[in-house]
Amino acid sequence: MAATKPHVIEIIERCEALFEDLHFNAVQQWKAAAPGRKAIGYMPVYVPRELIHAAGMLPVGILGGGDALEVIQGDAYYQSYICRIPRSTIELGLTGRLDCLDGMLFPSICDVIRNLSGMWQILFKDKYVRYVDVPQNYQDEIGGRFYIEEMQQIRDDLAKLRGAPITDAELNASIDIYNDNRRAIRDLYTYRASKPWQAPTSEVYLLLRAGMVLPVEAHTTLVREYLTAVEQLPRPKRDNARVVINGSFCEQPPLALIKSIEMSGCYIVDDDFMLVTRWLLDDVPADRDPLDELSKAFLHRSATTAAKYENTREEKGVFLMKQVKTRGAEGVIFAAPSFCDPALLERPMLQDVLAKHKIPYTAFKYAENTGQMAPIREQAGTFADSIKLWSAA
Amino acid sequence: MNIPIAMPKPTGTAKRPAAPVQKDDAMNLQKELINRNYMELATARANNRKVSATFVPGNLNELLMCFDFARSLPETNALQNGMRKKSGKMIMDAERDGQSEDVCTYVKADLGMMMGGEIGPTGDPLPRPDILLLSYTGCFTFMKWFELIRHKYGCETVMLHVPYQGEGKIAPNMRNYVVKQLKETVIPTLERVSGIKFDIDRLRQYMRESVKAEEDLVAVLQSAKHRPSPIDGYFGAVYYIGPIFTAFRGTPEATEFYRVLRGEIEERIRLGKGPVTPDGDMGEEKYRLIVEGPPNWTSFRDFWKMFYDEGAVVVSSTYAKVGGLYDFGFRHDPEHPLESLADYCLGCYTNLNLPSRINMICKYIDEYQADGLLINSIKSCNSFSAGQLLILREVEKRTGKPAAFIETDLVDPRYFSAANVKNRLESYFQMIKQKRTSGTAASAPAFIPIAAAS
């Protein structure tokens, strides 16, 4: 009699299948399930997905092509010194893999993604395309007013696309649903930090990736199922170093890289993968003016990354230090994509803050299609060993 | 009138005797202005003046003058160091200090310069700024740049977030946002740091002066529509845009500079002369080009020589618009000063979306009767470079004119390969010639990027 597969493994296998599917069949199936359904893609770091959801559309996170996509046409659009995510995203588009999307949102993160919005306007003229500017001024009456108008424009555009206005009640319902998802993700991250041997990041990562293509309600259920199921499968606890990953907020590392870091003796206890799922740090009130509340959450209660301006020098590194302290991390691994200006320019400042707090760190670069993991495993392994030696001293 | 000035000879012609560099009166005046600004910065502390730093695209020079700041422009410092062959060491110093080899070399040259004792390009002290006005029009890297300086040196920073023209237009919301920031955060901060109260009439007066210079600048830039063009709209334009894109817009000195410059250019048109090059008047005009992208600064003269030796003149360039699209009608408006500053910032070239940039280049090709488009793709500058290969294809498709692509860098001498660039340019000129003869584009694909430094 064949042994029954643990449920947690089934969940992760499902997530992995979604992750590996570069034709976005899950999105196609969702659209096919009811006439008139639409899907809107978005790129890192953050867009208010509630707007898309409230329009009855499926928000789809587009994070490049990973290491399984052969980029042929995309390379003809970019010089060698530009990162890989735009070229693989163009490849996905030109090969018809993104035909299931009715539009694309390009958030303000860097000059490359910004310019990609214009390329998309030229290359995919029949699709809805919008650059999403988010404020770098955090006063409600200044940056907030601007951001509310920006969101209102997207709301109007999506309403036009669906043929009916998006009401405040619909938006508040969507905020409520995303609050639930954010709570589930927070639980997942808290659980991983408390028992990283039970919830390895290679699994947590796949769970988050599933949230890029699944409806949010289904994703919330899946995360909670995982949390229940993973407790049923005791896993061995190792004497690993607890680390935070920083710099991977846009172009994603290959899954093998995450596994390599873990195999080298590190428990990843926090990270900045797919920050869209954790950008807003707490619940957004769902019974008031929805755009106003989304704006306030963005301005005053959101995560920090290199693409976001910090008003004072004293704020630099505070978010990362909080990750380190609250997760009980012993070190930080800076893993940034090659040619990623925001991450690579931010890195020396964060390293300086860590040094002042005597937090060890190491750094390397990757591309989404990096294939050679031995050097990374060696570097991360040495880093983990050194942490263990220091902590024993 | 041309005045010879001794300058370092191009590195690529080391065996030839040094030739005196030819400059006209306006070019000398420009040099005087730039040097004077460095002297003002060097003596700022002694004269009890506060120092500001801000970036060229969307710089608010008139506003900063209202608070009597001595004004530093970090990109200008980097490029001046590049032209003086000083930037290579600065960049490597910054890399040794932890900066990645992948990132913008302007940033690294600036950081390296500060690490080297805060001595400016002219050899005079360049004091640490009292305020960093972070108007990050059209470039995300600006934000990290000033955060890095703030982190290292503790300079106060005030942000002016200028939204991107993602939809190809300035929406009222964008303008209102910039104006509100000016009123409620930027001006109060500048008042506090400088100790000087804001006077809007003083701003208006500077703007009236700006308009005069802007009118003359446009006449100069558009003079290239003549045949032969009396100016080079890229290499020569670097001198022409210097004062207005930096610390002089709004000053009587800038007005005078542009008046003199316009007179000189009109005289060249009357005499049927081409542009002044470092080797004197350019010979026969054989090719008229539009150039997209900033120049390389470390080999600026060698690079320019590759053009004028072949009879190629750049009749218009996008780089000459990073500090404002005056040739498309923008003028500072003293009657609506803050709204006008907002429109100025929002309208700079690198704040335009790709379709707008393509439209602009196609318009230039048409109006300046250009033979084609050359893209100088800069490793350091994603704001310019990301998407340029699509720009190239679209422009070729829409205009039927041949386009070519070269790769260099701003101020990192490791990324200027003279032989590769020269080969590519010569092939491109051949392609244009062939196109004229046959009436069709050459079959060689023009868009294959050459390797940078080999």
CA distance A55 to B88: 53
SS3 A128: strand
Three-state SS at A331 = strand
Looking at beta carbons, which residues of chain A come within 8 Å of B358? 122
C-alpha span between A227 and A198 (Å, rounded): 10
pLDDT of residue B27: 80
Residues in chain B closer than 8 A to A119 (CB atoms):
354, 387, 390
CA distance A54 to A60: 14
Contacts of B362 (CB under 8 A, 6+ apart): B395, B398, B399
Q: Which of residues 351-380 of A touch B (CB under 8 A)?
A: 351-352, 365
A306 contacts chain B (CB < 8 A): yes
Q: In this structure, what token pair is assigned to residue A48?
A: 């208010």
Do the Cβ atoms of B116 and B359 come closer than 8 Å? Answer: no
Kindly list the distances between the CA atom of residue A206 and the CA atoms of A156, A173, B157, in Å, as whole numbers in the listed order: 33, 27, 40
What integer pLDDT is reported at residue B10 of this predicted model? 41
- Cβ of A345 and B150 within 8 Å? no
A314 Cβ under 8 Å from any chain B Cβ: no
B301, two tokens = 């003269």
Phi and psi of A361, rounded to 5°? -150, 160
Contact present, B164 and A133 (Cβ < 8 Å): yes
> C-alpha B30: how far from its chain's center?
14
CA distance A281 to A303: 7
Kindly provide the b/e burial profile for residues A251-277, where b requires at least 16 CB atoms within 10 angstroms of the residue's own CB. Answer: bbbbbbbbbbbbbbbbbbbbbbbbbbb
Token readout for B65 is 């003058």
CA distance B146 to A119: 29
How far A128 CA lies from chain B's nearest CA (Å)? Answer: 11
The closest of A162, A140, A147 to A40, measured between CA atoms, is A162
The model's pLDDT over B96-145, given as tens digits with 9 standing for 90+, comes to 999 999 999 999 999 999 999 989 999 999 999 999 999 878 899 999 99
Chain A residue at shortest CA distance from B359 = A122
> Rounded distance, CA B103 to CA B105, Å?
6
Which of A174, A152, A177 has its CA nearest to residue A165? A152
Residue B369's region, left for phi above 0, alpha for psi from -120 to 50, else beta, is: left
SS3 B441: coil
* Alpha carbons B452 and B454: distance in angstroms, whole number: 6
Give me the residues of chain A with pLDDT under 50, please. Answer: 393
Nearest to B102 among A136, A142, A344 (CB): A344
pLDDT for A151-174, tens place per residue?
Answer: 999 999 999 999 999 999 999 999
Half-sphere exposure of A14 (CA within 13 A, CB side): 20
Q: Burial, B398: exposed, middle or buried (Cβ in 10 Å; 0-12, 13-18, 19+)?
A: middle
Supply the ipTM of this predicted assembly: 0.96
- B347's CB contacts (< 8 A; 6+ apart) are B165, B170, B324, B325, B328, B330
Q: Show the CA angle centred on residue A85, arms to residues A80 and A89, nearest 5°.
A: 110
Consecutive 10-residue averages of pLDDT for chain B (454 residues): 35 49 77 93 97 95 98 96 96 97 97 93 94 91 96 95 97 98 98 98 98 98 98 96 95 95 96 95 97 97 97 98 95 98 97 98 98 96 97 97 97 96 97 83 44 35
> B19: buried, middle or exposed (CB in 10 Å: 19+, 13-18, 0-12)?
middle
B230 neighbors B222 (Cβ within 8 angstroms): no
CA A229 to centroid of chain Cα atoms: 23
> Any CB–CB contact under 8 A between B444 and chain A?
no
Q: Quick one: closest CA in A to B376, which residue?
A: A79
| pLDDT given for residue A3 in this prediction | 74
B189 in reach of chain A (CB within 8 A): no
Buried b or exposed e, range A161-189, using 16+ CB within 10 angstroms:
ebeeebeeebbbbbbebbbbbbebbeebb
The reply to whether A242 touches chain B by the CB within 8 Å rule is no
Subunit contact A121:B354, Cβ cutoff 8 A? yes
CB contact under 8 Å between B103 and A80, yes or no, is: no
Pairing of strands B21-24, B51-54: unpaired
Q: Kindly tell me the sign of the dihedral angle through the C-alpha atoms of A150, B183, B149, B380.
A: positive
**Which residue from B79, B23, B41, B39 is spatially nearest to B323, judged by alpha carbons?**
B79
**A-contacting residues in B 403-432 (Cβ below 8 Å):** 407
Write out residues 33-62 of B within 8 Å (CB-CB) of A. none
C-alpha A340/C-alpha B145 separation (Å) is: 14
